[in-house]
Amino acid sequence: MKRKHCAGILLLAAVLLMGAAVLQQKSPQPTRYEVRFFDSFDTVTTITGYAESQAEFEEQTKLLKEKLMHYHKLFDIYHTYEGMNNLKSVNDAAGQSPVLVDQEIIELLKLGIEMHQKTNGAVNIAYGSVLSLWHEYREQGTADPEHAKAPPKDLILEKAAHTDISKVIIDEKDGEVFLEDGEMSLDVGSIGKGFAVQKISEYAKELGMDHLLISVGGNVSAVGAKADNTPWRVGIENPDLESAEPYIGTVELADQTIVTSGDYQRFYVADGKRYCHIIDPETGMPPEYTPSVSVLTEDSGMADAWSTALFNMEIETGLELVETLPETEALWVMKDGGIRCSSGFEFHEKK
């Protein structure tokens, strides 16, 4: 009787397996799609995910694109937009009056102030006066390379006198922001894009997009894993512009984000020297410790801030700091092409 009972169980299991196979044939895995656009944060955005049809995927990613463009406008320091007070509105009113802003601007600025404290000033969203000076010289140098030059040090020091982050006054009750120093300005380049990527990743989950990879320039965020539950594999760019290899290797992501800061994309050359767009608040000059640093963690805004901070630090100092951060890892590319990683960074080096 015992053997018959087991046989009955095996027969039932076989029937269930056959039924599951039939159901699987009737419910195929969704197809993988990708969209790409270039109108947010002055960089290329690529969204890869799954849907039942191309039309469904395009409809979903259209909503993500609109949300990303909203943040692009909100954090813009060069243009104003009808019906919106953005960061340019705040900068324009510096020293004059508080500005009523969207709650997400307040959230972003609070993150900036928090990261200024955590990084001992290596990230400073109130450093806009110096960054705008470098932006001006970079624009001129790019347009006229023969006459390109770096800003004079005395002018950098003059602008740096108006970068005290304690003068960024946030009134959460009334939803207002006021810059006490009339010559200071905000620049959230160190956290803004990462903050926006984190927000649209959360929005994607609300839309039911559970298997998604979002790449906005050097900010990459994975919403879940791939449809087959294997992690996304993301390439880490090679900062050596003369190398034939575009990537130094890959990292696997699932509900994580990786952000890279480097000197190899936005820069200009003056008197034979390359000046990148990242400026160290301590010196007022582009740092020269490493060509690039990538930070792997769970929040894209934090990853953006940490990658900027680590780029502004000596490698050994940054490595020691990362080892104290929970759920955070980092990878540095050295000037000689070598690689340094924090203890928990799982990296697949290209052979």
Q: What confidence tens digit (pLDDT) does each residue in 293-339 have?
A: 999 999 999 999 999 999 999 999 999 999 999 999 999 999 999 99
Cα 231 to its chain centre, rounded Å, is 19
Q: Which two tokens stand for residue 93?
A: 């009113």
Give the pLDDT confidence of 161-196 residue by residue, as tens digits. 999 999 999 999 999 999 999 999 999 999 999 999
DSSP 231: P
Count of C-beta atoms within a 10 Å radius of residue 218: 20
Q: Which two tokens stand for residue 242?
A: 């003369």
Q: φ and ψ at 18, to 5 degrees?
A: -65, -40
Gap between the Cα atoms of 59 and 181, Å rounded: 45
Residue holding tokens 């080892």? 323
Looking at this protein, which amino acid is placed at residue 215?
Answer: S
pLDDT value, residue 351: 63
The pLDDT tens digits along the chain (351 residues) read: 433 343 333 333 333 334 444 444 444 678 999 999 998 998 999 999 999 999 999 999 999 999 999 999 999 999 999 999 999 999 999 999 999 999 999 999 999 999 999 999 999 999 999 999 999 999 999 999 999 999 999 999 999 999 999 999 999 999 999 999 999 999 999 999 999 999 999 999 999 999 999 999 879 999 999 999 999 999 999 999 888 899 999 999 999 999 999 998 889 999 999 999 999 999 999 999 999 999 999 999 999 999 999 999 999 999 999 999 999 999 999 999 999 999 999 988 876
Give the E-state strand segments of the chain in sequence order: 31-40, 43-51, 99-100, 168-171, 176-179, 212-216, 219-223, 232-237, 247-253, 257-262, 267-270, 273-276, 292-297, 329-333, 339-341, 348-349
pLDDT for 349 equals: 81
Delineate the domains of the chain, giving CATH numbers in brackets.
31-59+211-349 (3.10.520.10)
pLDDT score for 3: 38
Task: Tell me the torsion sign for CA atoms 185, 162, 100, 207.
Answer: positive
